[in-house]
Amino acid sequence: MRPEIVDLPPSNPEVEPAAQNTESLYGEIEKQEHTEQRQDAFGDEENAEIKYKVLKWWQGGLLMVAETISLGILSLPAAIAGLGLVPGLIILIGLGLLATYTGYVIGQYKMRHPHISSMADAGEVLMGRFGRELFGTGQLLFLIFLMASHILTFTVALNSITGHGTCSIVFGVVGLILSLLLSLPRTLEKMSWLSLVSFISIFIAVMITMIALGIQNNGAPVQAVVEANLVTGFMSACNIAFSYVSHNTFFTFMAELKDARDFPKALALLQTIDMTLYIVAAVVIYRYTGADVASPALGSAGPLISRIAYGIALPTIVIAGVINGHVAAKSLYIRIFAGTDRMHKRDWIATGSWVGIALALWVIAWVIAESIPVFNNLLSLIVSTNCALITFKYETDSRSFNPQTALFGSWFTFGFTGMFWLHMNKGLWFSSPKKIMLTMLNTFAICVGIALCVLGLYASGSAIHDNPGSSSFSCTADSA
């Protein structure tokens, strides 16, 4: 059952929603036409047993931080080493600013189409029924493989910490159960406290690594520019780009905000924290390790510090996966119960459906995680595994192949967002100098998405050809 159709005036995507009321939200030119809009996915919650639209902007921002920043941050020093300090920082800052803008475009698209609560909804607006299925399937696959990567990383971390204290499958099952239990709350507001724990966890782990390396002070040389071929240079740039890939969840976070117009503040919180932490961690760790920095960088601090840091980072490993799992379950839950009051009930059908969906998704993710030793590089075609995952599975040079999110993440963060803007501004692309500049910027974002996808798939195929597989569902340690 679809939500009721209502008519609303289209928006001017260049006007800051927080600074305008609903009547003046849109520009004079675009007010000349009207489009049909559906109400938001949750409808009127005044008398609902479970209310979803209660998320404060700072809670949404912390959720975005927890979903974005994981152990992948520790691949950035190796990426800087592969490019040199100057080009590495230029790419790190430049792509961070582009990701900030594309995130803002997602906020604009949501304000224009209030019913959007997932990439599937956005795909339907952009491309009709085909777009709904394409975007929805892509987002679900992306999230499930992310969930799998976190289960595997949890297993790898426990193997590292305990010295392979028991069968790796046991660690995987523990990760499955823990992740499932933490995914059971039905609202993001109930999940927001976990995001704070996740951020504190990864922040302390990174600080321990930087302090330990500073104390050791091996005096490694720092190179402003490094000679690199197309493949190694591009893969280092890709590792930087993929550290910002989290936009596929933004529509879901916006859907549960108490006031969707506060999204720019949540986005600003995310980008301020991740860009600052990325720059500091990448530069400081590279400064004290040089060209021989490991990926993940925890390996550069020695076995003892590495174990301590991974132990502290365990909450981040779990919680980042849990948030992705919650978004995946929510996309299916809304699709099943949209337009009914069932999702606002606490009865056994509503609760049982939520638990059943979450259980099914986490079991699938666990099976994928246990199978990854066979197709680890195939995984990288689809999802953003953090760099710890691939490096643990294959002990290689720190600038070795680490393609992530080639197929879906690049499009959700850069390519599709450019299309969203062009769709919102159809007929106005060259109407003013400002529009021309923004048209060029969003076209550039689409080109970035295409480049990451095409070259990332090429690199993935090369790695599948070059790297050997290992046994799946094995008790052997997953750590290097």
Q: Of 149, 316, 324, nearest to 253 (Cα)?
A: 324
Residue 341, number of CB atoms within 10 A of its CB: 14
How far from each other are the two terminal CA atoms of the chain, in whole angstroms? 50
**Model-level pTM?**
0.82
CA distance 77 to 368: 29
Return the pLDDT at 338: 80
Contact 93, 274 (CB under 8 A): no
Return the pLDDT at 464: 53
3-state secondary structure 210-264: HHHHHHHCCCCCCCCCCCCCHHHHHHHHHHHHHHHCCHHHHHHHHHCECCHHHHH
Contact 313, 139 (CB under 8 A): no
Contact 16, 108 (CB under 8 A): no
Residue 286, number of CB atoms within 10 A of its CB: 26
Q: With DSSP H G I counted as helix, E B as strand and the rest as coil, what are the percentages for the chain, rounded to 5?
A: 70, 0, 25
DSSP label at residue 434: H
Return the pLDDT at 456: 66
Which residue reads 């047993």 in tokens? Answer: 49
Query: Which residues, 6 or more positions from 390, have their beta carbon under 8 angstroms from its beta carbon?
Result: 376, 377, 380, 401, 402
Cis peptide before 296 (omega within 30 of 0): yes
Return the pLDDT at 219: 67
CA distance 140 to 147: 10
Return the pLDDT at 389: 32
Query: Which residues, 6 or more positions from 352, have their beta carbon under 8 angstroms from its beta carbon?
Result: none
Return the pLDDT at 437: 96
Burial class, 296, CB count within 10 angstroms (exposed 0-12 / middle 13-18 / buried 19+)? buried
CA distance 67 to 75: 17
Residue 21, number of CB atoms within 10 A of its CB: 8
CA distance 454 to 448: 10
- For residue 361, give both structure tokens: 């998704």
- Element containing residue 184 per DSSP (H, E): none
With H, G, I as helix, E, B as strand and everything else as coil, classify residue 322. helix
DSSP label at residue 55: B
Which residue reads 């980008």 in tokens? Answer: 271
The angle, 0 to 180 degrees and rounded to 10, between the axes of the packed helices 168-182 and 119-162 is 140
Contact 267, 64 (CB under 8 A): yes
Return the pLDDT at 461: 58
Query: Which residues, 6 or more positions from 428, have their beta carbon under 8 angstroms from its beta carbon?
Result: 29, 30, 435
Q: Of 400, 402, 452, nearest to 72 (Cα)?
A: 402
Return the pLDDT at 465: 56
Burial class, 345, CB count within 10 angstroms (exposed 0-12 / middle 13-18 / buried 19+)? middle
With H, G, I as helix, E, B as strand and everything else as coil, classify residue 6. strand
Q: For the chain, how many residues are written?
A: 480
**φ, ψ (nearest 5 deg) of residue 281:** -65, -45
Across 32-52, b (16+ Cβ under 10 Å) vs e yields eeeeebbbbbbbeeeeeebeb
Which residue reads 């010295």 in tokens? Answer: 163
Burial class, 227, CB count within 10 angstroms (exposed 0-12 / middle 13-18 / buried 19+)? exposed
Contact 139, 289 (CB under 8 A): no
- For residue 124, give both structure tokens: 């339907």
Return the pLDDT at 180: 94
pLDDT below 50 — which residues of the chain? 1-36, 373-404, 479-480
Query: May I ask the CATH class of domain 50-466?
Result: mainly alpha
* Torsion sign across C-alpha atoms 384, 387, 393, 394: positive
- For residue 120, give both structure tokens: 């599937």
CA distances from 428 to 295, 334, 415, 433, 435 (A): 45, 34, 20, 11, 7
3-state secondary structure 399-430: CCCCCCCCCCHHHHHHHHHHHHHHHHCCCCCC
